[in-house]
Structure 1
């Protein structure tokens, strides 16, 4: 029986194919590529997943000036204009997925119908209008992400511009080349089918991305998780939906188990991936040497 390749092996193969393809298309000095990942994976910058940049709320607050939102230690995030949520993140991840196959700055092309199908949305007229509004929001929301220790910051829109042909329904979209700097501070591999299986459960989607990049997840208080995901629910209600969302992650095998202790601390256990196990082993060796 043929051995099924691991996620790490798929990533390595995809990266090799991407490098070979780019070498044929552009000169080395022009090669500014996102990390390559296979079809079933989405590569997402860590800073996008570790705070309230993309909230769980369906209500969209408006900020006239750059306004701080919650983020994990080491990162500061400020936003201006319409707030983004998990539906916006679905679209953003799909757009990054298309961009990964060519240098940043090159145009990304897709039809509205194909994008709506990929997002598992209806394909009628109102859905096309919603897609246009979602793209406009990604272009209009200004984001500042600051890495405290590195003393560096990204400031700008997550999508630069788009052109639409109404006869064909085809979009031509462009990212700013500075998008690459988001990946320079680390990224997380997201299982796209797992994320899609969570449907409209925005909190489960946020938690799925938040914990995906952690080999050994930190324990957070219920109140802290409420702040980090941008929920506006009262604490008692948030605790209830949090339990249901964590159960959803167990059901899709994204995490192994969870519990909330008497101090309202949320403990999540998961099985590290092969690459995460290697990282943990290296960290253990360094700690022993220290």
Structure 2
């Protein structure tokens, strides 16, 4: 592919040294070489969803799902991940989609800061760390053998609000009931337009949600809210496009539920990198969605990194010897 591009460039240079019909023919040859190179590049790009034979065995599906999302017939599955963890798209973990800021601003076609050759545009209420935890809890119901939803007739996941609180590692109560409900509404209302690896990924919303509870508004009396009340949700199969072989990371329950703010965001962000990655503080400031001044962010970043380096931090959250002097 690279050789074809080099040949095309050389052919164009050669065209400059000749005239007449030969000049035009040489330019046409260069254009053909460039077209073939672009075609080969498109073919070389790995499809995030692995297409399996319609008669693929369960063992074959499970093996493929260790690395990426897969499709068998009409069924599309997310990758499988280890227990006490959840898989999340690197695109989300390296962006301000789930911001460290707890402000609840309404966004309209807002471009979300993100790392790399990717674009996220969002309409909805700004999301934050609590929403990431809720989103992860919902995704975890697709860890085993449950296919994503491909149509309106596809079954929904139905769970009690009490069970959902257990998934979030919190004790159920009226205030928790309301907080979970509001988070699910934000996730349902989050309409995204995503472009990654120069391709558009349809993402009408993060999840579909429906409630069957006694909620009558924020002032609903506690007796009307019960742990046995249910929520039904489903994740559409377009989500599988964000779980290619190198496009997702498994985040531990500890990182998700036992840390908050910038510390939680950093554990998610750095879990997507296999090795040291040098990055300007200003970039981290943008990707995290922080709204404080850069000077204050430097202070918070330094404290968060030093705290995550401590020996008392679980290994799945610990950051090894951050080069803070170079970063700051």
TM-score w.r.t. structure 1 length? 0.76
Q: What is the CA deviation profile of residues 46-86 of structure 1, one whole-angstrom value per residue up to 9, with x for unaligned ones? A: 111111111000112212x3111211121111111211111
Q: Aligned ranges for residues 132-171 of structure 1 at < 5 Å?
A: 132-147=181-196, 149-166=197-214, 168-171=228-231
Return the match for 1:79 from 117, 122, 144.
Answer: 122
Return the match for 2:298 from 232, 239, 245.
Answer: 239
Q: Equivalent residue for 1:206?
A: 265
Mean alpha-carbon deviation: is it higher for 128-137 or for 243-252? Answer: 243-252
SS at structure 1 position matched to 2:232: strand
Mean alpha-carbon deviation: is it higher for 160-169 or for 106-115? Answer: 160-169
Q: What is the CA deviation profile of residues 246-277 of structure 1, one whole-angstrom value per residue up to 9, with x for unaligned ones? A: 12322323221113236xx26xxxxxxxxxxx
SS at structure 1 position matched to 2:212: strand
Q: What is the CA deviation profile of residues 219-259 of structure 1, one whole-angstrom value per residue up to 9, with x for unaligned ones? A: 11112111110000111211111112112322323221113
Deviation of the 1:16 alpha carbon = 5.2
Return the match for 1:255 from 287, 307, 319.
Answer: 319
**Structure 1 pair 194–82 and aligned structure 2 pair: CA distance change class (3 A):** closer
Q: Is the 8 A contact 1:162 1:174 kept in 2?
A: no
Q: Aligned ranges for residues 95-174 of structure 1 at < 5 Å?
A: 95-101=138-144, 102-105=146-149, 106-147=155-196, 149-166=197-214, 168-174=228-234
Return the match for 1:34 from 54, 78, 94.
Answer: 78
Deviation of the 1:165 alpha carbon = 4.8
Q: CA–CA distance in 2 between the matches of 1:28 and 1:78?
A: 30
Deviation of the 1:155 alpha carbon = 3.1
Deviation of the 1:145 alpha carbon = 1.8
Q: CA–CA distance in 1 between the matches of 2:301 and 2:72?
A: 47
SS at structure 2 position matched to 1:109: strand
Query: Could you say which structure has the larger radius of gyration?
Result: 2
Q: What is the CA deviation profile of residues 9-58 of structure 1, one whole-angstrom value per residue up to 9, with x for unaligned ones? A: xxxxxx959739x9xxxx94133111111221211111111111110001
Q: Is the 8 A contact 1:60 1:83 kept in 2?
A: yes
Q: Aligned ranges for residues 31-70 of structure 1 at < 5 Å?
A: 31-63=75-107, 65-70=108-113
Q: Is the 8 A contact 2:123 2:192 kept in 1?
A: yes
> Which residues of structure 2 form unaligned runs of 5+?
1-57, 66-70, 150-154, 215-225
TM-score w.r.t. structure 2 length? 0.68
Q: CA–CA distance in 2 between the matches of 1:164 and 1:30?
A: 29
Given the alignment of the two structures, is residue 228 of structure 1 paired with residue 287 of structure 2, yes or no?
yes
Q: Is the 8 A contact 2:249 2:272 kept in 1?
A: yes
Q: CA–CA distance in 1 between the matches of 2:238 and 2:199?
A: 16
Mean alpha-carbon deviation: is it higher for 65-74 or for 154-163? Answer: 154-163
Q: How many residues align?
A: 241
Structure 1 segments of 4+ aligned residues over 6 angstroms from their partners: none
> Which residues of structure 1 form unaligned runs of 5+?
1-14, 267-290
Return the match for 1:191 from 240, 244, 252.
Answer: 252
**Structure 1 pair 16–232 and aligned structure 2 pair: CA distance change class (3 A):** farther
